[in-house]
Amino acid sequence: MKKSVLAGRRRVVIDRVFPEIDGGRHPVKRVVGDTLAIEADIVADGHDTIAAVVAWRAPGSRSWKESPLHLVTNDRWRGEFPVEKTGFYEYTVHAWIDHFASWREGLTKKHDAAVVEEADLAIGAALVADGAARARARDRSRLESRAVELTDASRSLDDRVGLALEDALAAMMGRAPDRENAASYRHTLRVWVDRPRARFSAWHELFPRSCGVGTAHGTFADVMDRLHAVAQMGFDVVYLPPIHPIGVTKRKGRNNALTAGPDDPGSPWAIGGAEGGHRAIHPALGTLEEFRALVERARTYRMEVALDIAFQCSPDHPWVTEHPSWFVHRPDGTVQYAENPPKKYEDIYPLNFETEDWEELWRELRGVFEYWIEQGVKIFRVDNPHTKSFPFWEWLINGIHESEPEVIFLAEAFTRPKRMYRLAKAGFTQSYTYFTWRNTPVELREYLTELTEGEPREFFRPNFWPNTPDILHQDLQSGLEATFKARFTLAATLSSNYGIYGPAFECMEYKPRHQGSEEYLDSEKYQIRDWASRRPCPLEDFISRINEIRGNNRALQETNNIRFHATDNDRLLCYSKRSGDNTILVCVNMDYEHVQSGWVEFSPAAVGYREHPPFVVRDLLTRQSYTWREYWNFLRLDPAVSPVHIFVLERD
């Protein structure tokens, strides 16, 4: 009965708390050092004053802290709190009628109108006396004294009104609010806080087996020799495709031929053989100790090794015989291989997530991650997660994060948007995107607006890749250096997380397997490639410079701060990013064969500063400075010289 009576006296209503994902079912995402801004609609009947706070609790803490919410406009309130460590923070909103503040506001109006009565001060004295009973020791005696003073008839009315309206009294009463009838938001919400690399990273993918001399099978030692060059280009994540034993049965040959030759190494994604499965290493690459040495060597360059985890098996994987129920069997008793019609992957068996033995399957798969975490790996690129159970991923990622909150998961899910978003909600830190297939200024503006201005910005972190071992987009098949430079710049500056399938991109590999195909000719997925003989590659210096610019400019270390600028030429894409006093303007000529010129609407005022033209911008690629004197400014981009400008706004 008591609860219902109290609930009936709660006059404040809290609605539309933001950010909130699916009614609190899933967390929003931030990184260490962020401040989480909270908004809510908070209303009550009548004219009383409302007080509100956001209550929040850090990972592992039992106690709640509170930060005030302030009225912004039209019953919309806003506040914030810092997130300073990895893990789950909890937060919610509380609000109540502040009777003392309401009385104080009314007393001010009456005093201004010269209609204050003794009864008005008596009401305030009672409120202050109640506050004294709730106050901590440092304020209690002062509030008790003030309650007496407010009704002391020996003092003038004006004197007592002055005491009542002192800011010091309001501050003490604010520290002892009457929250008996406070309303609380119906959900306790969560924010998952990652380490900073979750927001800002540059990935370089390479195949260890192609890091040797000529066509000799490369080793982890060869990768270690390559680390310096990758670090010099400015990458901080070295991503390796699967490093496990490769099956022999149904092994694919060069260019995905159905029959492999005696020297064909097979696809690294056909995982498992006589040497072991997902916890084993391909013998030709080296030993576990050598792999651990590689991980440690990468750290000396301030890089991390990311591993590809692909939950699928070759016909020779130990699980096929040890756990046959983990696979789908056809009517003839054979195991169903993977298909993506018209493609057939006879060398790969997908796992069956509807198996009755699903609990053991889940535990084993989680154990794969735990094993490689023990070897020092804290970043994983996960192959085709959208073809595995969504509840499985939520269980696995949350379980891993309980003990290893710094682990980063990248979802390689080229699938429908809602599937991609659901994986992000399940816990994936970053995700591949449709960037590769957004190839006009209009398409990119629309796509970035979707990612950065809607709800996805709260939980979905895009990672832009201009190419992958599976994807050689038609634009790159032109072989034009301007195309490669433009697409690289777009990936590295539109998103704060990006990656390239390294050797193929920096060496400008452009030949498709056949007309209309997005597969590489002589794909490294099926054969060892000799990259060493092609170095130095044409784009290494350009890539290094772009990564240097990213590292030196905070504005490029975020994704959601993007702002597009109007141009009078539909082949030019211009956008800016600002962080504090650092503002970057990027302009790209997306006609990779012809000079394009035009006017862009850009000025300090356009990005939130008070200054007006003239102003100075400096091109960070050419290091030339320009004084712009108008709100619209002229650009000319010759792809034979450079298809991009990256300007920094110079400010005194």
pLDDT tens digits, one per residue of 495-513: 999 999 999 999 999 999 9
- For residue 267, what are its two tokens? 């696809």
CA distance 584 to 649: 6
CATH, residue 454: 3.20.20.80
272 in any annotated domain = no
What is the predicted pLDDT for the residue at 1?
39
Same domain as 485, residue 389:
yes
**Which has the closest alpha carbon to 456: 495, 497, 494, 417?**
417
What is the predicted pLDDT for the residue at 3?
52
**Which has the closest alpha carbon to 19: 452, 394, 429, 456?**
456
Kindly tell me if the per-residue pLDDT of 9 is higher than 90.
no
CA distance 229 to 592: 28
* pLDDT, tens digit, 9 for 90 and up, residues 98-116: 999 999 999 999 999 999 9
Four-residue CA torsion sign, 502, 439, 546, 382: negative
Kindly tell me if the per-residue pLDDT of 329 is higher than 60.
yes
CA distance 211 to 81: 47
339 in any annotated domain = no
Contact 591, 639 (CB under 8 A): yes
Q: Give the bridge partners for 44, in sequence order.
A: 12
Same domain as 626, residue 548:
no
Same domain as 19, residue 131:
yes
Kindly tell me if the per-residue pLDDT of 15 is higher than 70.
yes
Mark which of 166, 193, 220 sits at the end of a domain.
Answer: 193
The residues, any chain, with a CB within 8 Å of residue 478's CB and separated by 6 or more, are 510, 592
Residues 341-346: contacts with CB within 8 Å, 24+ apart? 345/270, 346/250, 346/252, 346/258
Kindly tell me if the per-residue pLDDT of 652 is higher than 80.
no
Residues 252-255: contacts with CB within 8 Å, 24+ apart? 252/346, 252/347, 252/526, 253/526, 254/522, 254/526, 254/527, 255/513, 255/519, 255/521, 255/522, 255/523, 255/526
Kindly tell me if the per-residue pLDDT of 176 is higher than 80.
yes
Lowest mean pLDDT among 342-351, 387-396, 629-638: 342-351
Across all residues in the chain, what is the average pLDDT? 96
CA distance 574 to 585: 7
CATH, residue 123: 2.60.40.10
* CA 551 to each of CA 507, 649, 652: distance values in angstroms, whole numbers, following the listed order: 23, 16, 21
Domain that holds residue 614: 562-650
CA distance 298 to 309: 19
* pLDDT, tens digit, 9 for 90 and up, residues 134-165: 999 999 999 999 999 999 999 999 999 999 99
293 in any annotated domain = no
Same domain as 566, residue 534:
no
Same domain as 407, residue 505:
yes
Pinpoint the alpha helices (H) of 566-608: none
* pLDDT, tens digit, 9 for 90 and up, residues 592-641: 999 999 999 999 999 999 888 899 999 999 999 999 999 999 999 999 99
Contact 58, 36 (CB under 8 A): no
CA distance 573 to 444: 9
Contact 303, 230 (CB under 8 A): yes
The residues, any chain, with a CB within 8 Å of residue 1's CB and separated by 6 or more, are none
378, exposed or middle or buried, with CB in 10 Å at 0-12, 13-18, 19+? middle
Kindly tell me if the per-residue pLDDT of 270 is higher than 70.
yes
335 in any annotated domain = no
Same domain as 44, residue 172:
yes
548 in any annotated domain = yes
Q: What percent of the chain has pLDDT over 70?
A: 99
Same domain as 56, residue 16:
yes
Which of the residues are catalytic? 383, 412
Contact 369, 408 (CB under 8 A): no
DSSP for residue 276: B
DSSP for residue 602: -
Bridge-based pairing state of the strands 572-579 and 304-309 = unpaired
Kindly tell me if the per-residue pLDDT of 5 is higher than 70.
no
141, exposed or middle or buried, with CB in 10 Å at 0-12, 13-18, 19+? exposed
Burial track 275-297 (b if 16+ CB lie within 10 A, e otherwise)? ebbbebbbeebbeeeebbbbbeb
136 in any annotated domain = yes
Q: What is the mean pLDDT of residues 64-74?
A: 97
91 in any annotated domain = yes
Mark which of 193, 213, 228 sits at the end of a domain.
Answer: 193
HSE toward the beta carbon, residue 258, CA cutoff 13 A: 3
CATH, residue 566: 2.60.40.1180
Contact 460, 420 (CB under 8 A): yes
What is the predicted pLDDT for the residue at 450?
97
Contact 184, 15 (CB under 8 A): no
Q: 343 pLDDT band (50/70/90 cuts)?
A: confident
What is the predicted pLDDT for the residue at 340?
82
Q: 117 pLDDT band (50/70/90 cuts)?
A: very high
Query: Nearest 5°: phi and psi at 92?
Result: -155, 180
What is the predicted pLDDT for the residue at 4?
53
349 in any annotated domain = no
Q: What is the mean pLDDT of residues 169-191?
A: 96
HSE toward the beta carbon, residue 129, CA cutoff 13 A: 11
Q: 341 pLDDT band (50/70/90 cuts)?
A: confident
Q: What is the mean pLDDT of residues 66-79?
A: 97
Same domain as 416, residue 395:
yes
Q: 52 pLDDT band (50/70/90 cuts)?
A: very high
CA distance 510 to 491: 18
* CA 151 to each of CA 121, 132, 154, 221, 532: distance values in angstroms, whole numbers, following the listed order: 6, 16, 9, 85, 90
Same domain as 623, residue 484:
no
Q: What is the mean pLDDT of residues 537-555?
A: 98
Mark which of 557, 576, 610 sits at the end of a domain.
Answer: 557
Same domain as 619, residue 491:
no
Same domain as 591, residue 473:
no
Query: Nearest 5°: phi and psi at 189?
Result: -100, 165
* pLDDT, tens digit, 9 for 90 and up, residues 393-403: 999 999 999 99
Q: What is the DSSP string of 28-64?
A: EEEETT-EEEEEEEEEESTTPPEEEEEEEE-TT--S-
Q: How many domains does the chain have?
A: 3
Same domain as 218, residue 83:
no
